[in-house]
Amino acid sequence: MADALQLQEYRTPGGAAQSLYEQKKSRFIGQLFPAADQQQVDALLAQVRKQHREARHHTYAYRLRTDHVERSSDDGEPQGTAGRPILEVLQKAQITDALLVVTRYFGGVLLGASGLLRAYSKAASLAVAGADIITMCTCIDCVLTVPYNLYGVIQNMLPGYTLQISDTRFEVDVTLALTVKGSDYQRLVDEVTERTDGRVVPKKIKSHFSYL
């Protein structure tokens, strides 16, 4: 996984999602959660164990951008039949800052190692398929102070960029607060500066990850 500070964008769940898969009377409940750090992962695992306290296994995998963490657990299932295939589902979908748990209620019929692997992978894949996966990108907050006679010029330019206007104030000048996709920012600076003859130059406030 690339260094978190160098990522331009990443995919992550926009919210929790759940799936149900049955195989030979065993029920596999897949749950995908957004999780930004180890503390959130631990809290969510405790929540799932409490919610399904009668289940035999709570297998899981998670990926975090912080410290490039990738971990999985078979939680008592034969080694390599649960945690690893769940992790591979996250990796294949390129999802990070996420926890994927598959809870198993044993139905009395043994599935064998290959059957378990397929069942856990299927339940995990169904949870991901049903989730709202969003792309977080590097964004830059900036402010434009625009004379009124140039406001129309700026208004006509902005639709050509991936951005959000968070605030507009009409005072001595027009002040626009923008969140701009990082890959668009320098192009915006260059065009604004050129088309206003240097009278308007975006003032950078901060960089961060956001969903646009």
Q: How many CA atoms lie within 13 A of 22 on its CB side?
A: 4
Each residue's pLDDT tens digit, 119-145 = 999 999 999 999 999 999 999 999 999
14: confidence class by pLDDT, cuts 50, 70, 90:
very high
**pLDDT score of 195 more than 50:** yes
Each residue's pLDDT tens digit, 74-86 = 999 999 999 999 9
**pLDDT score of 204 more than 70:** yes
Q: What is the pLDDT of residue 80?
A: 94
User: Taking residues 98-102, what's their average pLDDT?
Assistant: 98
Q: What is the pLDDT of residue 61?
A: 98
Q: What is the pLDDT of residue 60?
A: 98
User: Taking residues 61-73, what's their average pLDDT?
Assistant: 94
Q: What is the pLDDT of residue 178?
A: 97
Evaluated on CA atoms 64, 69, 75, 77, the torsion sign reads positive
- Determine whether 95 is exposed, middle or buried from the number of CB atoms within 10 Å of its CB (0-12, 13-18, 19+): buried
7: confidence class by pLDDT, cuts 50, 70, 90:
low
**pLDDT score of 186 more than 60:** yes
**pLDDT score of 8 more than 60:** yes
Nearest 5 degrees, angle CA 130-CA 131-CA 137? 145
User: Taking residues 110-124, what's their average pLDDT?
Assistant: 93
How high does pLDDT run on average in the chain?
A: 93
Q: What is the pLDDT of residue 212?
A: 80
Share of the chain above pLDDT 90, in %: 89
Task: Supply 149's token pair.
Answer: 């006679």
Cα separation, 102 vs 85, in Å, equals: 11
